[in-house]
Amino acid sequence: MDLDIFEVLEKAAKQRTKAKKVEVLKQNESWPLKDVIRGSYDSTIKWDLPLGDPPYTASPAHMHPASLLREHKKFVYFVKGTRANKSIPKFKRERIFLEIIEGVHPSDAKHVIDMVNKRPIKNLTRPIIEEAFPGLLRDNL
């Protein structure tokens, strides 16, 4: 069974060595995981959403109706400059964002909010990410 994104990130963060963190990320590689990581660290991705923590009602941790394993496909609406972003009005873009964070596990919602605010993921550094997923971060910092 696939782990939720927050479970993979927590598992990786708990590892004590860089090699173990890289191993956990590689073992659980998925596009949703890479989307959250890239969205958090890659400076070439500009989010077209208000900064800060939005007011929302988190779904219960034991009964969330959605998963980032599917919902990550909607991130394209939030990236400045994409065709999907330009095709919808601001209020609809923000509504889709709220639907995502209110529907997924509360810990995944926190990671999505942190991603939009470009907050780094706890205990995951750029070198760890670059070793686990070479070429994922395209800004070459």
Rounded Cα distance, 118 and 138, in Å: 15
Backbone angles phi, psi at 43, to 5 degrees: -75, -10
Q: What's residue 141's pLDDT? A: 61
Say if residue 1's pLDDT is above 60.
no
CA 89 to chain CA centroid, nearest Å: 22
Average of per-residue pLDDT values in the chain: 94
Distances (CA, A) of 55 to 11, 14, 50, 109, 124: 28, 29, 11, 12, 27
- pTM for the model stands at 0.93
**pLDDT tens-digit map of 54-97:** 999 999 988 888 999 899 999 999 999 999 999 999 999 999 99
